[in-house]
Amino acid sequence: MSSVKTKSQYLKARNKNNSYASNIKSEFSKIHWPSKQEVVKASISILVFVVFFVGFVAISDLLLSKVFFKFKGI
């Protein structure tokens, strides 16, 4: 009796795992993967933004440090 219960539990678990795997496969097929051109455009946009932001922070730091040292008298 226990082997039947174990076998049925095994089959249930196996069906559940197969269902989970097929659900994952189904969900992955719904994903819109970007094309190479879209990835390149997004990467360039990000790099331009980063360079601009770094420049902005560097210039702000330079100007604020000059103002601070001028007021401090150094």
The model's pLDDT over 13-64, given as tens digits with 9 standing for 90+, comes to 666 667 777 888 888 888 888 999 999 999 999 999 999 999 999 999 999 9
The residue count for the chain: 74
Question: What are the residue boundaries of the structural domains of the chain, listed by start?
Answer: 1-31, 35-74
- Tokens standing for residue 44: 């360039």
> Look-up: residue for tokens 């001028």?
70
| Coil, strand or helix at 69 | helix
> Look-up: residue for tokens 């819109």?
32
State the pTM of this model. 0.55
